[in-house]
Chain A
Amino acid sequence: LAKTTQPISMDSYEGQEVNITCSHNNIATNDYITWYQQFPSQGPRFIIQGYKTKVTNEVASLFIPADRKSSTLSLPRVSLSDTAVYYCLVGDMNTNAGKSTFGDGTTLTVKP
């Protein structure tokens, strides 16, 4: 499974757009990129997944450049409740049956 690198922490203010970048230089052809969110004392929760270009859902957008060696999770207009740890995962969903290696994640702190 490809190793990922994310910033350890980020700070933001309410109402701002937050972009968290993840590096995955050894991503394989069949690998997908998945992001999870985790609040204290809870299990992680799936946010978004993509393979290339851009994916958007009601919560976030995921931008993946053509070389796929990095990806950026974009959270529009964050609120205090978006304070959480965000994990980027890379893996082949077909051969690894969804087995994922979670890195250390990025702790996002949203301030008033």
Chain B
Amino acid sequence: DVKVTQSSRYLVKRTGEKVFLECVQDMDHENMFWYRQDPGLGLRLIYFSYDVKMKEKGDIPEGYSVSREKKERFSLILESASTNQTSMYLCASSTPHRRSYEQYFGPGTRLTVT
């Protein structure tokens, strides 16, 4: 069964801390994504990776960076967390070998920055 896991369901961090959000997929997918979801704003793409060590900025990359050292793992990094980064973070993966490029999502990490 397809599975995308995220390291934490809930996370509380202080302003200025460096935060790592980890995502792992077991489907050997080439593409991985990080989104944030806020009430009234839908899902917004932060970063996207189509291969190991490759990344592309999404719609709102400011304040974030990513790392993809292995195919199955995609990390989102908040270099210096701020309160406006309090949000639900969702990771997803997909493969070009399925014509639909269907994205499989993880359960999400609700991050609170105080």
Contacts known (A42-B107, A43-B106); A102 close to B44, Cβ less than 8 A: yes
Q: Smallest Cβ distance from A63 to chain B, in angstroms?
A: 18
Complexed CA–CA distance, A46 and B30 (Å): 18
Interface size class of B (residues with CB under 8 A): 20 to 34
Contact B42 A46 (CB under 8 A): no
Q: Is the CB of A87 within 8 A of B101?
A: no
Chain A residues near B15: list those with CB within 8 A: none
* Distance in Å: Cβ of B51 to nearest Cβ of chain A: 9
Once A and B bind, how many residue pairs between them come within 8 Å at the CB atom?
Answer: 65
How distant is B56 from chain A, measured CB to nearest CB, in Å? 8
Q: Is the interface of A mostly helix, strand, loop or mixed?
A: loop
Q: Which residues in chain B, 43-80, are within 8 Å of chain A measured between CB atoms?
A: 43-45, 48, 50, 56, 58-59
Please tell me if B103 contacts chain A, counting CB pairs below 8 Å: yes
Give the size of the chain A interface in residues (CB under 8 angstroms). 21
Chain A residues closer than 8 Å to B4, beta-carbon distance: 43
Please state if A98 and B45 are interface contacts (CB–CB under 8 Å): no
Select from chain A the residue with minimum beta-carbon distance to B51: A97
Give Cα distance in the complex from A99 to B105, angstroms: 13
Chain A residues in the interface with B (C-beta under 8 A): 32, 34, 36, 41-46, 49, 87, 93, 97-105
